[in-house]
Chain A
């Protein structure tokens, strides 16, 4: 299989997948349940999500392992199953993806703030190493470290994945618009601060996910591109901001809305486009139609 970054460098634009968390909840995951436990207890449902994104035209799909680090699993009492859960996550997505499409092992933040002294950099590295290695073993050909807000944690995660697996490493961070109109992560990091540091840590692809909707991603992409011309950029935005309607939370961007931002995202410098919270296979299908058209 060609590496994702090589495909991008040969001039191709690629499509990644959409939401997993909101999809799992639609399938009946309770809010108190550990989403990653479904890799073992309900693999068919997880497989169904993975397959639906492949069918929608994604060139790569993620794994159901966003909260699969030992720290987060511990909250549900699953920490002793960390390896098993991550391996299963990658196996399921690999089965759905076949040999042609990429499997990106999803790694989310630990929820622990390094500067508060609750953990050490060494311990964090160990946590990410364990997860990345299990995902590779299960069949992932890339590791995606995503929804990061702390650059220090992101750098540690990238290093842990790069130094201990043969996977390509992707890292995407989450920015929100401040009252001053700039984009910053929760920890105060600007898009322009991340490309160099993540690249130096070993990231092959960088970008942004989650946040305030796909439209906001155009500006974020521009800022990322303003400091790096070479590294591939991946963008996975939310389907807008969630609204509460008749007892349910609804994401506002329709598949057509999301897909309508594709040309501007590409123009701003994005190479890989997918979705985050609230996006569905239908969103990915519409995005894929636009993105793949560019490769013809």
Chain B
């Protein structure tokens, strides 16, 4: 059983989606996240263990390597793809409550900004860390963020911006959310941001990479 979970973690770490996938080249012909997850469930491995001891550790390695610039966006995307393939098999267990997730993470690219690559990366990696992710998409207004907070009490909010012209919209969103929900945690990320900007607009945390965000929100639980 442990061996199978380790194999799942390995598939996630190296982006092996399924047997048919030719990526990564050195795993050609081997079972991928798809087959291994199915096999684990067939063998009676609890779905929660598959998530916590297979997917989460695999994705954590991805997050750390990405932060250390040992891997780049393409590798992360392949890992995320492998993870979502595995997740398909776990879906019924989320609904039944057999798999317990750490909490809810609401994420969106702020109003005026249509960039989604960074937001999607964070979204996929947070999901891979065992969170339920509610992705509001791009060009998300203050009202939509507030509505999502209303609908998902105890969630953590993540704001993304790629442009110097849209990062300023983050300030409005943070203060509007905090005015209504003073204890609501809001974290931010995006190419032009930094720590100083984060404290200036009153956000709770800034991370230059997805792993930092995951470590921060994991600590809130």
Min CB gap A101→B, angstroms: 28
Q: Which residues of A contact B103 (CB under 8 A)?
A: none
The answer to whether B3 has its CB under 8 Å from any CB of chain A is: no
Are B169 and A31 in contact (CB-based, < 8 A)?
Answer: yes
Nearest CB of B to A86, in Å: 19
Residues A242 and B117 in contact in the complex (CB < 8 Å), given A31-B169, A116-B81: no
A244 with B197: CB separation less than 8 A: yes
- Is B69 in contact with A31, judged by CB distance below 8 angstroms? no
Q: Which one, B78, B114, B163, B167, contacts A244 given CB within 8 A? A: B167
A30 within 8 A of B: yes
Residue A22 is within 8 A (CB to CB) of chain B in the complex: yes
Q: Which residues of B contact A277 (CB under 8 A)?
A: 164
Give the residue name and chain of the A residue nearest to B110 (CB).
A31
B154 is an interface residue with CB less than 8 A from chain A: no
Q: How far is the CB of A20 from chain B (nearest CB, A)?
A: 13
- Contacts A178-B69, A179-B68: A31 and B77 contacting too (C-beta < 8 A)? no
Q: Is A294 an interface residue (CB 8 A)?
A: no
B41 within 8 A of A: no
Residues of B within 8 A of A251 (CB): 164
**A113-B72 contact in complex given A242-B192, A249-B167, C-beta closer than 8 Å:** no
| B196 and A244 form a contact (CB under 8 A) | yes
Decide if B192 touches A188 in the complex (CB within 8 Å). Answer: no
Interface: B148 (CB within 8 A)? no
Query: Is A197 part of the binding interface, using a Cβ–Cβ cutoff of 8 Å?
Result: no
Report B95-125 CB contacts with A as 1/0, cut-off 8 Å. 0000000000000000111111100000000
Cα of A149 to Cα of B77 in the assembled complex, Å: 15
Question: Which residues of chain B from 172 to 221 have a CB within 8 Å of any chain A CB?
Answer: 192, 194, 196-197, 200
If A32-B112, A179-B69, A184-B69 touch, whether A116 touches B168 (CB-CB below 8 Å) is no
Shortest CB–CB separation between residue B40 and chain A, in angstroms?
26
Interface assignment of A248: CB less than 8 Å from any CB of chain B? yes
Would you call A263 an interface residue if the criterion is a C-beta within 8 Å of the partner chain's C-beta atoms?
no
- A55: Cβ under 8 A from any B Cβ: no
- Docked CA distance A178–B73 (Å): 13
Residues of A in contact with B (beta carbons under 8 Å apart): 21-22, 25, 30-32, 75, 111, 113, 115-116, 149, 178-180, 182, 184-188, 241-244, 247-249, 251, 277-278
Given contacts A25-B165, A185-B72, A188-B74, 13 further A-B contacts (CB under 8 A): A21-B165, A22-B165, A31-B169, A32-B112, A75-B114, A111-B116, A115-B77, A116-B77, A180-B69, A187-B74, A247-B168, A247-B171, A277-B164
- Residues of B in contact with A (beta carbons under 8 Å apart): 67-69, 71-75, 77-78, 81, 111-117, 139, 163-169, 171, 192, 194, 196-197, 200
3 tightest A-B contacts by CB? A188-B72, A31-B112, A178-B69
**16 A-B residue pairs with CB within 8 Å:** A21-B165, A25-B165, A30-B112, A32-B111, A32-B112, A111-B116, A113-B74, A115-B78, A116-B77, A188-B72, A244-B197, A244-B200, A249-B164, A249-B167, A249-B192, A277-B164
